[in-house]
């Protein structure tokens, strides 16, 4: 009997592994097919290689740009701006949500303003930021942060508000102060919502930073895209896009790692 169960379990595990392998295989072949098709289409002139470039050209450009070091500079500029904007936006948004939770009066007063700010397209504020903060680093980071701060505030504040009142009763029955109640109950109870806004913010801060670089145009991947477009070097544009795709994915993976660490046991 025991033996049989073991066998069945082994079979079950094998099946799972097999399924996972199929999924991975299909994903890889799709990617491979995409690049091969792109290459062939460009070589046979189905698409205009001047406009759409080709994987081999992008690859060559990548190698030369790595050799002269320029891609590394541009990438690190954009990446640091994005990470800074992301962290700043998320942190400030969460702190803001904390204040709103703390003071119901403040949250009632600010409610309409937050709604307006949230529905406003934040990138439209770009020129104002540049006027205020100067055409550089600061404006671009501000853009990356601004784009996620309001939505973070709203979502996290909602999560704070929706924490089951009974958990608060438990901690207050031990004589907890408001501060203690916040840090030992409200905040940890909201980890899942905070993580899901982090996921959204990864994408948003890339948008903010790239648009910022479009406007300021000195260096960075956004600058490469605009520059490549202006001099009709679409290989450069494609290269910048691919680098962005890879980096954004890596950042997202980091957030998922954090999620696994923080909310393993979160759901009852």
Residues at the contact surface with another protein, assessed by CB under 8 A? 164, 166-167, 169-176, 180, 184-185, 188-189, 191, 263, 265-268
Identity of the residue, 172 or 199, whose beta carbon is nearer to another protein in the bound complex: 172
Shortest reach from residue 178's CB to another protein, in Å = 12
Shortest reach from residue 169's CB to another protein, in Å = 6
Identity of the residue, 190 or 205, whose beta carbon is nearer to another protein in the bound complex: 190
Identity of the residue, 146 or 163, whose beta carbon is nearer to another protein in the bound complex: 163
Identity of the residue, 62 or 171, whose beta carbon is nearer to another protein in the bound complex: 171
Shortest reach from residue 23's CB to another protein, in Å = 28
Shortest reach from residue 263's CB to another protein, in Å = 7
Concatenated DSSP letters for the chain? -HHHHHHHHHHHHHHHHHHHHHHHHHHHHHHHHHHHHHHHHHHTTSS-HHHH--HHHHHHHHHHHHHTSHHHHHHHHHHHHHHHHHHHHHHHHHHHHHHHHH-HHHHHHHHHHHHHHHHS-GGGGHHHHHHHH-TTHHHHHHHHHHHHHHHHHHHHHHHHHTS-HHHHHHHHHTT--HHHHIIIIIHHHTHHHHHHHHHHHHHHHHHHHHHHHHHH-SSSHHHHHHHHHHTT-HHHHHHHHHHHHHHHHHHHHHHHHHHHHHSTT---
């Amino acid at each position: 009997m025991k033996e049989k169960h073991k066998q069945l379990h082994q079979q079950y595990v094998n099946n799972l592994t097999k399924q996972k392998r199929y999924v991975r295989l299909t994903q890889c072949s799709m990617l491979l097919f995409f690049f091969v098709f792109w290459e062939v289409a460009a070589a046979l002139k189905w698409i205009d290689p001047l406009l759409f470039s080709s994987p081999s050209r992008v690859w060559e450009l990548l190698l030369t740009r790595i050799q002269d070091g320029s891609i590394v500079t541009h990438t690190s500029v954009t990446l640091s701006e994005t990470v800074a904007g992301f962290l700043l936006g998320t942190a400030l948004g969460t702190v803001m949500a904390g204040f709103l939770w703390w003071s119901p009066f403040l949250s009632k007063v600010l409610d309409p303003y937050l709604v307006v700010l949230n529905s406003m397209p934040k990138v439209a504020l770009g020129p104002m930021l540049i006027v205020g903060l100067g055409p550089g680093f600061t404006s671009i980071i501000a853009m990356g942060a601004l784009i996620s701060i309001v939505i973070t505030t709203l979502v996290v504040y909602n999560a704070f508000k929706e924490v089951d009142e009974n958990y608060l009763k438990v901690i207050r029955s031990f004589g907890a102060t408001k501060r203690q109640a916040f840090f030992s109950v409200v905040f940890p109870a909201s980890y899942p919502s905070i993580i899901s806004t982090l996921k959204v913010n990864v994408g948003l801060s890339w948008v903010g930073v790239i648009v910022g670089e479009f406007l300021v145009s000195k260096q960075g991947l956004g600058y490469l895209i605009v520059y490549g477009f202006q001099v009709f070097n679409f290989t450069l544009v494609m290269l910048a896009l691919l680098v962005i795709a890879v980096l954004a994915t890596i950042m997202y993976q980091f957030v998922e790692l954090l999620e696994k660490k923080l909310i393993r046991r979160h759901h009852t």
